Amino acid sequence: MTEMPAFSLAVPEIWLLSMACVVLVVDLFFPGREHAPAFYLSQLTLVGAGWLALDAHWGMDEVTFSGTYIADSLSGLLKASVAGLAFVVFGYARDYLRQFDLLQSEFFLIGLFAVLGMFVMASAHNMLSLYLGLELLSLSLYTLVAYDRDSWRGSEAAMKYFVLGALSSGMMLYGMSMIYGASGSLDLAEIAAAAAAPDQGGVLMAFGLVFVFVGVAFKFGAVPFHMWIPDVYQGASTPSALFVATAPKVAAIALFIRLMEGGLGNLFSHWQDMAIILAVASLVVGNLMALVQTNIKRLLGYSAISHIGFLFVGFAAGSPEGYAAVTFYAITYAITTAAAFGVVMLLSRRGFEAESIDDMRGLMQRHGGFAVVMIIVMFSLTGIPPTVGFYAKWLVLQAAINAGLVWLAVVAVFAAVVGAFYYLRILKAVCFDSPDEQTPALQATASMRVLLAVNGAVVLAAGIFPDTLVAACRAAFGLA
Tens-digit pLDDT profile for residues 186-204: 999 899 888 887 665 678 8
Give the whole-angstrom CA distance, residue 245 versus residue 341. Answer: 9
The per-residue pLDDT for range 384-430, each reduced to its tens digit, is 988 999 999 999 999 999 999 999 999 999 999 998 998 988 888 88
Cα separation of 438 and 452, whole Å?
Answer: 25
Lowest-pLDDT choice from 44-58, 298-312, 362-376: 362-376
Residues 432-457 have a mean pLDDT of 78
The confidence score (pLDDT) of residue 336 equals 94
* Average pLDDT value for the chain: 89
Mean pLDDT of all residues in 365-380: 87
What is the C-alpha separation between 234 and 168, in angstroms, rounded?
21
CB-hemisphere CA count at 13 Å for 157? 28
Q: What is the pLDDT of residues 251-303, one digit of tens each?
A: 999 999 999 988 888 888 889 999 999 999 999 999 999 998 888 999 999 99
163: pLDDT strictly greater than 80:
yes
Task: Determine the pLDDT at residue 87.
Answer: 95
Average pLDDT of the residues in 89-95:
91
The band of 1, judged by pLDDT with boundaries at 50, 70 and 90, is very low
Give the percent of the chain with pLDDT over 70. Answer: 96
Distances (CA, A) of 53 to 326, 346, 360, 478: 21, 32, 39, 18
pLDDT band at 2 (very low <50, low <70, confident <90, very high): low
Give the model confidence (pLDDT) of 320-351 as tens digits. 999 999 999 999 999 999 999 998 888 877 66
| CA dist., res. 414 & res. 47, Å (int) | 40
pLDDT the model gives residue 140: 94
pLDDT value, residue 330: 95
Q: Is 211 helix (H, G, I), strand (E, B) or coil?
A: helix
Return d(Cα 33, Cα 280) in angstroms, integer: 50
354: pLDDT strictly greater than 80: no
Q: Determine the pLDDT at residue 437.
A: 62
Question: CB burial class (10 A; 0-12, 13-18, 19+) of residue 476?
Answer: buried
Torsion (CA) 234, 424, 313, 470 in degrees, nearest 10: -100
Say what the pTM is: 0.94
Amino acid identity for residue 103 in this structure? L
Q: What's CA 178's distance to the chain center, in Å?
A: 28
Domain boundaries, the chain: 7-476
Tens digits of residue pLDDT in 59-73: 888 998 888 999 999
Quick: pLDDT tens for 133-150.
Answer: 999 999 999 999 999 888
